[in-house]
Chain A
Amino acid sequence: MTARSVVPAYVRPTPARVAGMPARGWTLVLLVVMVASLELYARSGAVSRLDLIPVSEMATRSIELLGDRDFVVDALLRSALLICVSFVASALVGVGVAYAMSRYRWIHRAMKPYVNVFYALPIFALYPVMVVMFGTGMVPIILLATLFSVVIVIANSLVGFESTPPIVTKLARSLEMTPSQQLRKILLPSALPDILAGLKLGLGYAIIAVLATEFILATTGLGQVVNRAYNNFNTVDMYAGIVFVSVFALLANLTLSAALSSFDWRRR
């Protein structure tokens, strides 16, 4: 725009670039600035090495961890396994329960209020109970992670099943489809985008639950690596663990998003 604008700023079109750089470029700049200032702050000597280490050291150490057999087997693979099991369980149970709720009105009416308020309840308070009943092994973690992630899958799948256009349901009835045909050929495909959105969130919740429970109380696992390093005053390993967990969670979310998006007919 060469001349002075006569348009109030808030309705002007969004500029494609600011200072010659597009928004994506600025994202990178922000990221680099944040990492660099953390690095400089850690190296400046203004902070004790027991509190903060440079980002470069966190990164090197977390890559070293990948070569450590104990870490890979006891922490990484174990946590990944727990996450996978909980995720698959909550996906199957979640879609099933949502289907039952959409099909039987009394189930719907009995469960809907609980689905609505579930995430206001600090479900992690149940973890100590489960530990007493099942010990500190894999079982309480899987139970809690499944419970924590299943409700978001239910909520989203339910939206999907319920937003099936009535005309499509009428079509199914006019073709005299059996309930199982209706589910496979009409309901599931129609609800798929919402179910996929629920599964993406479900994975995120499963990751959070597994890492949080491992962190609070467990004998092994990624979360426990951070916990142990903190308690042993091993600041380097603690930050390396945090960086590792963050990258792990980010990659898992991105991978699943990309994988699920290819099934989503709304995005084609």
Chain B
Amino acid sequence: MSSATTPIVRATQVEQHFGPVHALGPVDLRIERGEFVSIVGPSGCGKSTLLEIVGALQDPASGTVEIDGAPVDGPRRRTAIVFQESATLPWRTVLDNVAFALEVRGIGRKERRDKARELVQIVGLAGFEDHYPAQLSGGMRQRVAMARAMSTEPDLILADEPFGALDEQTRMLMAEELLRVVDTIGCGVLFITHSIQEAVLLSDRVLVMGRRPGTFIDEVPIDLPRPRSHVALSEQSATEAQERIWAQIRSEAEVAMRSER
């Protein structure tokens, strides 16, 4: 059913309502295999709603979502969702947090711990295997969440403002870390953020979502060579992209702010 040309995500005419509130859409979304797509937009515009529909955490009011050519019929084994850092489980050690997804899937203790140990190394937490999340900084907890996402060898990662609770410097470090991880496993990514800089640094394509009900008002391709680091942000094409996105969002955010307060 899937082939090299089937997009990893294809959402068609997706809409969402919460009671009387028209929250999202209709929107179309297409992500190729191995492509990194970000959605930026003012808060409350429905970005996370779209991600949760793709990840089978919400049912859409209408529209269809296909992943790897097959309609979504529940949480999918090869889709991994990365949430904010507080999604780590405080009663489990770093190692057991990383091994959590494998444990849920019934992988034996020895095998999942070996795999988890490897991943802890990759995200740079070696030596912290037996620490509890409360003993770690926010950035380190986010590394744990990323290692857990990698453990199931996903072909699609959905990231819902994963760095939203981190400070500016840590965000930049974590963004570079995520780039490295994605390059290693070569999966498609849908990345939700309200940081324009982050979106430009990470993505192949940035989608700009307008205020509620969210629809895409612009699509900005980012032509920067990979592998990237924060240095790429000072290139001209990067600054141009940031300005173009900001101009779009600014007017939307202003209207949204006035209608909310």
Contacts and interface: CB of A to CB of B under 8 A. Distances in A.
Contacts of B57: 7, 11
B58 interface: yes
Interface residues of B, number: 10
A1 B19 CA distance: 11
- Max count, chain A CB within 10 A of own CB: residue among B19, B58, B72, B73: B58
Contacts of B56: 6-7
Contacts of A178: none
Nearest to A16: B19
A5 interface: yes
Interface string A1-36: 101011110011100100000000000000000000
Contacts of A13: 18
B124 interface: no
Contact of A1 (B59, B73, B75): B59
- Max count, chain B CB within 10 A of own CB: residue among A5, A6, A12, A16: A6
Nearest to A1: B59
Contacts of A1: 59
Contacts of B19: 16
Given A7-B57, A7-B59, A13-B18, 8 more contacts: A3-B59, A5-B59, A6-B74, A7-B56, A8-B74, A8-B75, A11-B57, A16-B19
Contacts of A7: 56-59, 74
Interface residues of B: mostly helix, strand, loop or mixed? loop
6 smallest CB-CB distances across A and B, nearest first, come from A6-B56, A6-B74, A5-B59, A6-B73, A6-B72, A7-B59
Interface string A101-122: 0000000000000000000000
A13 B59 CA distance: 10
A13 B21 CA distance: 14
A16 B18 CA distance: 11
14 contacts: A1-B59, A3-B59, A5-B59, A6-B56, A6-B72, A6-B73, A6-B74, A7-B56, A7-B59, A7-B74, A8-B74, A8-B75, A12-B59, A16-B19
Contacts of A3: 59
A16 B58 CA distance: 16
A13 B19 CA distance: 11
Contacts of B74: 6-8
Nearest to A3: B59
- Max count, chain A CB within 10 A of own CB: residue among B19, B58, B59, B75: B59
Nearest to B72: A6
Contacts of A12: 59
